[in-house]
Amino acid sequence: MSVVFVHIGLPKTGTTHLQDRLWRNRDLALRSSGLLYPGNRMTDHFHAATHLQPERYLDWVNPDFDDAWPTLLGQMKAWPGKSLLSHELYATATPRHIRTLMSDLSFADEIHVIATVRDLARQLPSVWQENIKNQRRADFAEFLASVRDHGPAVPGFVAPTDAGEEEPFWEFQDYVRILADWADAVGPQRVHLVTVPTRRDTPGESIWERFLRVLEVDPGPLTMEVPNLNSSLPAAQAEYLRRLNHHLQPSDVHWSRYDGVVKGQVIQILKRAEGAPLGLSAEQRVWAASAADDMVAAVRSRGYAVSGDLADLEVATAAGADAEPPTTADVLDVAVATMAEMVKQAPIADNRPRLRTRAMNVVRRVRRRVRALRRR
């Protein structure tokens, strides 16, 4: 029987780790459990998700990769068993986009949707940091104020009419609405919610194992490990980057330069530092706990299949061991240390005269000496 699973994220729930691990183990998964993770390139899944939503991801829709979705689709059609699509950008698909995807997948006997979801106490700081790594300038308090003013989209909530500019969050993280949109297309009984565990030391309950459980894939034969490269920045490092962004807006620097220099070099230096990231205060946790309770109740009422425990999505009101906001002195120390590392790594410009220039200088000196000798 042909079955297609569509993993729609959400972003910042371990999706990169899952996708990287799936790609490295795809031959093993195909042999041991009959799971096809299609594509000729790992990025085919990214391009398929962006090409489904060209108006949303206009800057990322590259005509050079128009073949990505036909490639994935052709391989899945040719496979009689279960297949998996996975990218967190499917989280922003509108009902119209979902209908288009369902039409393309109509060859399948069944279509299932998988959403990986993490609690607000961890998700809010993580998403704020990701925004900072992509030229955003709002500090954590401003980000949280925006999140409160524009959501969550639970029954009875009405956004204030004077709400300011919305920081990117609910479009990707409102799992109540997102799951409802996909459930309308495939049915609630074929929607699977995988919770990111609050503890990492419980045997058999990692996000990897919970995810594979939905696919009915045995994790045992999938022996290819992957490093965890998507670590959080300590509080002072994140604040330094946020302040740096005030000077590196799209009007100041093209995205390709920001991506290459800031994301490719500066952030890699900042990641080496040790320290706790900024987290929710006790007061902020009170609101997050209330919002989480409403959202958990809403998805529980829909009867989705859960791999893990919905309790993982609840928020404790007691503050955790998160870092306090850094001082200006802390940020200055980070700036100096980062600049020092940049100097150590920066390529040295070759200021030596070019060969032709050096040759011409020799010729000129010879000519001057000849003229001087003639005058004698």
What phi, psi does 177 have (nearest 5°)?
-70, -45
Where a domain ends, among 297, 314, 331?
A: 314
Same-domain pairing of 102 and 249: no
Neighbours of 102 (CB within 10 A): 16
Same-domain pairing of 338 and 269: yes
The DSSP element (H or E) to which 86 belongs, if any, is strand 82-86
**Domain residues for 7?**
3-230+282-314
Taking each helix axis from N to C terminus, what angle separates 328-345 and 235-245, rounded to the nearest 10 degrees? Answer: 80
Same-domain pairing of 210 and 263: no
Same-domain pairing of 242 and 305: no
- Tell me what pLDDT residue 348 has: 82
Same-domain pairing of 210 and 345: no
C-alpha dihedral over 306, 308, 314, 317, to 10 degrees?
A: 180
At CA 222, angle to CA 221 and CA 226, rounded to 5? Answer: 150
From the list 217, 195, 219, the residue with the least C-alpha distance to 207 is 195
The DSSP element (H or E) to which 113 belongs, if any, is strand 110-117
206-233 b/e (C-beta count within 10 Å ≥ 16 → b): bbbbbbbbbbebebeebeeebeeeeebb
Same-domain pairing of 240 and 216: no
82, amino acid identity: K
What CATH code is carried by the domain that includes residue 36?
Answer: 3.40.50
pTM of the model: 0.87
- Tell me what pLDDT residue 351 has: 65
Same-domain pairing of 114 and 261: no
From the list 141, 132, 169, the residue with the least C-alpha distance to 266 is 132
211, amino acid identity: F
Same-domain pairing of 263 and 248: yes
What phi, psi does 5 have (nearest 5°)?
-100, 135
Same-domain pairing of 58 and 172: yes
Is the separation of the CB atoms in 236 and 275 below 8 Å? yes
Same-domain pairing of 294 and 355: no
Same-domain pairing of 160 and 251: no
Q: How far apart are CA 51 and CA 48, in angstroms?
A: 5
- pLDDT tens across the length of the chain (376 residues): 999 999 999 999 999 999 999 999 999 999 999 999 999 999 999 999 999 999 999 888 999 999 999 999 999 999 999 999 999 999 999 999 999 999 999 999 999 999 999 999 999 999 999 999 999 999 999 999 999 988 764 444 444 555 568 899 999 999 999 999 999 999 999 999 999 999 877 888 999 999 999 999 999 999 998 887 668 899 999 999 999 999 999 999 998 999 999 999 999 999 999 999 999 988 899 999 999 999 999 999 999 999 999 999 999 988 666 667 899 999 999 999 999 999 998 888 766 655 566 666 666 666 666 666 666 5
How many domains, in total, are found in the chain?
2
Q: What is the three-class DSSP state of 283?
A: helix
- Tell me what pLDDT residue 154 has: 47
Same-domain pairing of 195 and 267: no
Where a domain ends, among 296, 314, 332?
A: 314
- Both tokens of 216, joined, read 């009915």
